[in-house]
Amino acid sequence: MSHYMNALISRLPQRTHSPMVRAIEDGRIDRLAKLIEGGANIRETDARGATLLHLAATKARSDFLSLLLRSGADVGARDAYQRTAVHLAARYGRAENVQILLDAGADVDVQDRFWFTPAHHARMHDHEDIFALLATRGANLKAQDFFGRAVSVA
């Protein structure tokens, strides 16, 4: 790589994560709990508006999600794409997280920027167990996305 390219790259902003994001990424619930107890901002967002709850919803460990919800995280918070944590849990195949979020009051039919509901995300990513869970929780299977596709055929 040329000296010029190295100089340009060195001036790019370095991607840094808050201690709370690092705790979730590293699987350190003890550290996350201490940060919350110490007054860390439970509603912090990244540049795309994603919250800690959005991040935790994508992970396999539901204990992070439960801790954040008990600590006051907003179950209806939306990112720049208007997705909520339940959209992401459905998309990433985290059935237990979907259940926890719904039990905490997440809207089963909430639509994102492209009018996708959690059921759309579950169906598009072949998470039929989550699709079935959402259906039993009252998801509107006739809801259409931006492209006019119903959930049942997404």
CB proximity list for 72: less than 8 A, separation 6 or greater: 42, 43
Q: Report the pLDDT value the prediction gives residue 89, as an integer from 0 to 100.
A: 98
**Is domain 3-153 classified as CATH 1.10.4160.10?**
no
Q: Report the pLDDT value the prediction gives residue 14, as an integer from 0 to 100.
A: 43
Q: What are the residue boundaries of the structural domains of the chain, listed by start?
A: 3-153
pTM comes to 0.86
Strands annotated E in the chain: none
Mean pLDDT by 10 residues, the chain (154 residues): 45 64 94 96 90 94 95 96 97 97 98 96 96 97 91 71
Residue with tokens 């998309």: 91
Q: Report the pLDDT value the prediction gives residue 112, as an integer from 0 to 100.
A: 96
Q: Report the pLDDT value the prediction gives residue 4, as an integer from 0 to 100.
A: 46
CA distance 43 to 74: 7
